[in-house]
Chains A and B, each alone.
Chain A
Amino acid sequence: MSLLAVRDLAIAAGRHLLVEDIDLDLSEGEVLGLVGESGSGKTITCRALMRLLPEGQLRITRGSVALNGRDLVPLSEAAMRKVRGVEVGMIFQNPNSHLDPVMRIGDQIAESVRYHEGASRADARKRAIDLLRQVGIPDPAGRISAFPHEFSGGMRQRAMIAVALACRPRLLIADEPTTALDVTVQAQVLRLLLDLRDRLGLAIILVTHNLGVVAQTCDSLAVMYAGRVMERGPKRDLLRAPAHPYTEALLKCQPGSAAPAAQLPAIPGQPPLAGVFPEGCRFHPRCPRAAGICRERPALLPAGGKRLAACHFAAPPRAA
């Protein structure tokens, strides 16, 4: 049984569906890369997994999010609070704004331990020191009483990882955890995440714009476009022989596909605006292979090996 199984998830703002037909699978210790152009719905999908969509603006209209076999979508707020932080941790793109500027780092780590586990002040403090050590902060006992502004950007991101892991969740959702950091620090933070995966058996959903990051860190990959999953499966398969024209376009536009730091490239045309997606295959206005049938919506279907693709012309299993 997989750790996380998302099926048919849809998120709407009012009457507009922003994200639809989201299917994702993740097992223990797996790193899933979630890529796609800006506005394709990566962040709101992550928030929806935590049931943390902005109230009154966005809501889940359909689908299920099964964590260890239990669907989170129908859970009450109180039950959901026992999932957030405890079973699923989340880190964000900007550690500057996502840490409380007037609370000590140690307290920000310790407070969820105190709330969820009823730990004593001393025990929570010990845990905070231990976590800071695990994420590679030097002199953790001295640093727990520091405030966020006293940390460098990279240390802040490490601290945020420590906050997210305070109650030992099995799954970490990382929404562009390195975008705000400079390149050398990016690599360190990614190495830290992989290290934590190895040591703790942590499963990670890694949202990124950077295919180089995907190549280096992920086990599997899901490519989103205009609020839908276009293709997903083992990273190797997708990067070597993409089945979906959109994945192919992403890879092809890379300046020398070996370049590790390459950003998502420009594909001719503009991505559609959320809520006014084209009929049928949402990629068809920009797709080089588009044909008449593409005015009908393609389903996400097996396309060779363990991979799934939503394209009428997804490459059929080759040699295998």
Chain B
Amino acid sequence: MHRYAFVLTRPLQLIPVLFGISILSFFLVKSIPGDPVRLLLGTKSTPEAVARIRAQYGLDESLPVQYLHFLENLTRGEMGHSLLYKMPVLPLIAERVLPTFLLVVGSVLLTLLIAVPLASLAALKRGTAADHAIRGFTTAGLGFPAFWLGIMLIILFSVKLGLFPVAGFGEDALTMLHHMVLPCLTVALALSAIVTRNLRASMIAELASDHATAARAKGLPESWVFRRHVLPNSLIPTINLLAINVGWLIGGSVVVETVFSLPGMGQLLVRAIFTRDYMVVQGVTLVFACATVLLNFVADLLTVAADPRVKL
């Protein structure tokens, strides 16, 4: 079978996964304590008013029926109404996709931008002061929680140096980018610590590998051996490591969006949880779960592209 055939077969295999996700997100939200209708109408509402709203949102039906309604609506792109924002959930989420998307993609790119040079330097200059300094950086990066780093970055770059905005998101591409720097850096610093460590270890193993020796026996200079043989081989486990961390990345984006008041899905989710905005919690959970599945799929694509031996 063709190595990329999974691009066609994978979506079929994902159907049960997506069902599972929908069931989980539906019942998880249902199991949250507290009555959303009372929250919406206030404590002094009449029983009639409560019943009317319940009927309006279909909350008076049995759970399986509610789930079927939920599925049926999903197929039409209907995720219900937000009680808080008084608008449909889908456009509400759509408005918030861009900052989160930029945060995740930007963080991964920035992570590679930090980790690849640092790991290369550490592996090539093993045991030197540079290597020890980089080890110190990775140890620190693994030790500090992401939001603490974020606050430190805000204090340093925004409050003290005035280089980057403290919070929020821009209007046009340029100001957006400007606003994204610190949040991305916060995630990337944490993630690049673990990536640098792993990449350094696999580079050291590849530098001592038989095929690197064989490349040197061809009279190729060390820089060539590193670029053409050591680097491509040691990046393969890194893709895997990033794939494993997709869940962490999305969870981290929730925290970081909150710290930087980024109007993304993470921030929306947090606010919805605190206000028991059921439909929004459900919608964002669904989108996050699908994003996780999608990102893992992308990681598989990259793995297959990077390693000709892999068959999925």
A103 near B219 with CB under 8 A, answer no
**Set of chain A residues within 8 Å of B210, measured between Cβ atoms:** 92, 94, 97-98
A97 near B219 with CB under 8 A, answer no
Q: How many angstroms between the C-alpha atoms of A89 and B217 in the bound complex? A: 7
**5 nearest A-B pairs in the assembled complex, by CB-CB distance:** A85-B219, A84-B219, A97-B210, A85-B218, A112-B218
B216 near A84 with CB under 8 A, answer yes
Given contacts A103-B232, A147-B308, contact A97 B211 (CB under 8 A): yes
**Set of chain A residues within 8 Å of B211, measured between Cβ atoms:** 97-101
The answer, among B214, B219, B228, B236, for a CB contact under 8 Å with A99, is B214
The answer, among B213, B214, B219, for a CB contact under 8 Å with A115, is B219
Q: Does B209 contact A (CB under 8 A)?
A: yes
Chain A residue, CB-CB nearest to B306 = A102
**Set of chain A residues within 8 Å of B105, measured between Cβ atoms:** none
Q: How many angstroms between the C-alpha atoms of A116 and B221 in the bound complex? A: 10
**Set of chain B residues within 8 Å of A166, measured between Cβ atoms:** 218
A52 near B217 with CB under 8 A, answer yes
A102 near B236 with CB under 8 A, answer yes
Q: Does B290 contact A (CB under 8 A)?
A: no
Given contacts A102-B306, A102-B308, contact A90 B217 (CB under 8 A): yes
Interface digits, A283-306 against B, CB 8 Å rule (1 contact, 0 not)? 000000000000000000000000
Chain B count of residues within 8 A CB distance of the other chain: 23
User: Can you pick out 12 interface pairs between chain A and chain B where the beta carbons lie within 8 Å of each other?
Assistant: A52-B213, A52-B217, A80-B219, A81-B219, A84-B216, A84-B217, A85-B220, A86-B219, A103-B229, A116-B219, A160-B214, A164-B218
The answer, among B208, B218, B232, for a CB contact under 8 Å with A84, is B218
**Set of chain A residues within 8 Å of B216, measured between Cβ atoms:** 52, 84
**Set of chain A residues within 8 Å of B220, measured between Cβ atoms:** 81, 85, 111-112, 115
**Set of chain A residues within 8 Å of B219, measured between Cβ atoms:** 80-86, 112, 115-116, 167
B309 near A147 with CB under 8 A, answer yes
Interface digits, B201-245 against A, CB 8 Å rule (1 contact, 0 not)? 000000011110111111111001000110011001000000000
Q: How many angstroms between the C-alpha atoms of A149 and B236 in the bound complex? A: 16
Given contacts A92-B210, A115-B219, A166-B218, contact A100 B229 (CB under 8 A): yes
**Set of chain B residues within 8 Å of A111, measured between Cβ atoms:** 218, 220, 224, 228
**Set of chain A residues within 8 Å of B307, measured between Cβ atoms:** 101-102
Chain A residue, CB-CB nearest to B229 = A100
**Set of chain A residues within 8 Å of B224, measured between Cβ atoms:** 111, 115
A81 near B221 with CB under 8 A, answer yes
Q: How many angstroms between the C-alpha atoms of A152 and B215 in the bound complex? A: 21
Q: How many angstroms between the C-alpha atoms of A228 and B157 in the bound complex? A: 66
Chain A residue, CB-CB nearest to B233 = A102
The answer, among B208, B209, B218, for a CB contact under 8 Å with A163, is B218
B232 near A102 with CB under 8 A, answer yes
Distance (Å) between the CB of B222 and the closest chain A CB?
A: 9
Q: Does A48 contact B (CB under 8 A)?
A: no
Q: How many angstroms between the C-alpha atoms of A97 and B213 in the bound complex? A: 10
B214 near A98 with CB under 8 A, answer yes
Given contacts A81-B220, A97-B209, contact A149 B308 (CB under 8 A): yes
Q: Does A50 contact B (CB under 8 A)?
A: yes
**Set of chain A residues within 8 Å of B228, measured between Cβ atoms:** 103, 111
**Set of chain B residues within 8 Å of A81, measured between Cβ atoms:** 219-221
Q: How many angstroms between the C-alpha atoms of A97 and B306 in the bound complex? A: 18
User: In the complex, which residues 70-115 of chain A have their Cβ closer than 8 Å to any Cβ of chain B?
Assistant: 80-86, 89-90, 92, 94, 97-103, 111-112, 115
B213 near A101 with CB under 8 A, answer no
Q: How many angstroms between the C-alpha atoms of A167 and B217 in the bound complex? A: 12
